[in-house]
Structure formats: C-alpha cells, structure tokens
Chain A
C-alpha cells in the first residue's frame, strides 16, 4: 500500500478546557471517500476543521502527504509551531465546503471562484478565469458567473462554493455538512455534484447527516461519539452490522 495521503495521530481539541476531540487517529489513502457520521456535538465538524488548521488542535499531529500541518520538528525533535505563511500554504491543499456555503457576498460568482487562484496562487487572470469556468461548468453553474450570491438559491450557492474549493486543485476535499442548511428539494443537486467528484477519484471527507447518500458514496465510514471514533468500517458493513451498539442505535434512529 502507498503512503496514506492523510495521517492523523492522536488529535485532540479542547475549547476552554472542555475536550471536544479526545484523540483521533486515522490513515486515509488517496482517492478514498470517507464518511463521518455521528450525533451533534460528537466532534465531527471540529475534527474536519482541525485538519486544515482553521481550528488549532490542542495536541496531536496531522500530515498531508507526509508534510506536518501547523508544526515543524525542531533539531532536538521537539515540535515548533509553523510560520503563518506555511500554514496558509498547507491549508490551500484542502478544499473546504461549509454548511452555510460562506460565499463572499460582495463578489460575483466568478469573482468568488477566481479570488484564491488569482491572489493566493498568483495565476494570470486569463488562466484563473479558464479554471473557474471549467469548475463552474462541472457544478452546472456556468451562465451565472455574474450573479451575486444573494440572488442564488442555497443549492446554487453551495455548488459555487464547491467550484471555489476545486479551483485551488486541492488534494483533499472536506465537506462539513454541506447539505444540512438546504431545503430537501435542493440537496439532490449538491449531492449529485459530490457523487461525480467521488466518481472522478477525488479524495473526500464528508461529514453528513445524509445516511443514504453516505452509504452509497463512501468507501469507509467513521462513527463519532463523544470526541472519539467509536466505529470505523467499510460503508456497507457499517450499515449492515455496526460494531458498536451506540452506532447501531444511531443508525436505527437516523434511517427511520
């Protein structure tokens, strides 16, 4: 087996001394689609946000393609905090899709998507626009490039947000309850986009409440409970014969 694209070692996070993540370890292979499920407050969103250092972990290590995120190992073997610019660089290798889309309201659809390629990657405008159009086409939002987010439906905004993340050609896509804020009739269009990304071989971590979807699209599922991974199994197995009793109860309730 190749070296995992993502390695997480004993990751913890506390908010003012309240532990939210209590030691998460994980190896993820390139091209894998990982589902993360669990009750609210189980730590699954915090886990995602610690991976790209939007939330600073309290302890533990995250490596992307073997590169540590947020720290360097000093000459004595101790960890020293990484520079802000290097953290920004590592962060850009993750694409993140948020529950509330978080498009920038003062920019048009196209401006939202070219912003980071233009100013973070410093691509020439022509090239950034080309890339943006290709991704907007992929999420079926070409033709809305000059609209402002406020004029789009939630589903459309979320598809633009996915294009924005993809435009940086991230190594891993993180989805943080990407459909939770959407009306039921709008979740389908976003899930379709996510499904086609998975089919293209993108490495994805999907925090979700959409059980049917995650069973379908994920290779492997983690069940979070109280800041720990309580169950970790291939998708089919997780839904058929969950290892933990809590997971079984959670799924029974969720699938009702």
Chain B
C-alpha cells in the first residue's frame, strides 16, 4: 500500500456509512455520558470550589484534598478502578456480590475526575470577584448566602466560561474511554466492527472525524448561547 492509497483508505467513508446506525447509536452513549457527567462535574466542582474558600479549616482541607486527589488521577485509572476494584472491596466488606452498572460508573467517574478541575476554576472565578462588590451587597443588608448566590456566583460563572468550555471539551473527549468497562459506545463498536471487517483505517479515522465535528458544533452552539449573556456587564 502506498502512502496515497493508505490515505485514501483511511478517508473512505463507505464502511463507516454502511455501519452508520450501529456506530452513531454507539455515539449516543458518548453524548449521554458526557451530558450527565458534565452536570455532575459542574455541581460537585462548584460545591468543592466554594468549600475550598471556607473559613473553616477542616472544610477547606477536605475540599482541597478532594480536588488534588481527583485532579491528579488519570480518568482512565479512575474508571477502571471504580468498575473493577471498588465492587470487590465493597463485596469483601459486606460479604455480598456487588456489581455496578457500567453507565453509572462512567458518569460518576468522569464527573468526579472533572469536578477537581472545575473546583479550581470556580475557586479562581470567585476570588476574581472584587471584594468591594461584596461590601456593596453587605451595605444593603444582604446575607452571606444571598451575596454568594446573587452577586458572587453569577459573576464568577461569567469569568469562568472560557476556561470551563475547554474543560467540557476535554470531558467530552474522555468519554471515548468508557469502552474499557464494556459500554457499547462509538469506540467499542468501532473495535467490534474492525474485528469483523479487518479494515481499521477508515473506521478509526471516521470515529475521529465524528468526535471532532461534534465538539466543534457543540462549541459553536455554546458560544452563541452564551455570547449575549457573557457580554452583559463584564467591565
């Protein structure tokens, strides 16, 4: 096979097209796992980010350890550990046979792994809100909780947006590892069909193109949706 032939084979859409239903329904798992774990990562990240700024030493230390542990553990390892090792540990302790639902494990692992990043982004976003802004809230009688909810978080989120977008993109890409725990996502099905057809070049190439296109499209949508809102009053 010459270089040109190899390139032609890689970009040939026929095989991918033939299996499009199987492959794209696999891709819907990637979308589903992404959507759920993105929500989870955001919510957990926000709580941990706020906890890291707590005036209580113990709360701060716990939240910081959480963020450090999960930010520094590869999601690959986390996923496999949560699916294969954790049930064994729990089983030994409780003396029962434990099995986890793979999609639940994938969503939870990715949410936890990325919540570490989000907590850092949130922390920085909150710290960037000027103290004077908070004092203005105090001066009209707002409670600490109200100041957080009405003044600090809305401003922090606007500041966080560009960086979070990158993290959502990484998270989306990370969903390509869930085939490790036998979820029949796009990559899982690509490797199944490859075994059948022995033509890995076009399948893997088009899988890459699908991921890339989906991310570009989603990024565009997110940009459009947030443009007006982001502009709103960031000095």
Contact = CB atoms under 8 A, between A and B. Distances in A.
A228 interface: no
Looking at A84, A106, A116, A168, the one whose CB has the most chain B CB atoms below 10 A away is A106
Nearest to B140: A116
Contacts of A88: 138, 141-143
Interface stretch (B53-61, B148-156, B167-175, B179-187): B148-156
Counting contact residues on chain A (CB < 8 A from B), the size range is 20 to 34
A29 interface: no
B233 to A, nearest CB: 4
A106 B154 contact: yes
B136 A104 contact: yes
Given A119-B150, A148-B232, A102 B142 contact: no
Contact of B234 (A93, A100, A105, A120): A105
Given A88-B141, A120-B146, A165-B140, A102 B135 contact: yes
A30 to B, nearest CB: 20
B141 A116 contact: yes
A85 B146 CA distance: 11
B135 to A, nearest CB: 5
Interface string A230-244: 000000000000000
A125 interface: no
Contact of B233 (A92, A93, A105, A119): A105
Contacts of B142: 88, 116, 119-120
B132 interface: yes
B198 interface: no
B162 interface: no
23 contacts: A54-B138, A84-B144, A85-B143, A88-B141, A88-B142, A92-B141, A96-B136, A98-B132, A98-B135, A98-B139, A102-B132, A104-B151, A105-B233, A105-B234, A106-B155, A106-B232, A107-B233, A116-B142, A119-B146, A120-B140, A120-B141, A149-B233, A150-B235
Give 10 closest A-B pairs by Cβ, nearest first: A92-B141, A116-B140, A148-B233, A102-B136, A96-B139, A150-B235, A105-B233, A120-B141, A102-B132, A106-B233
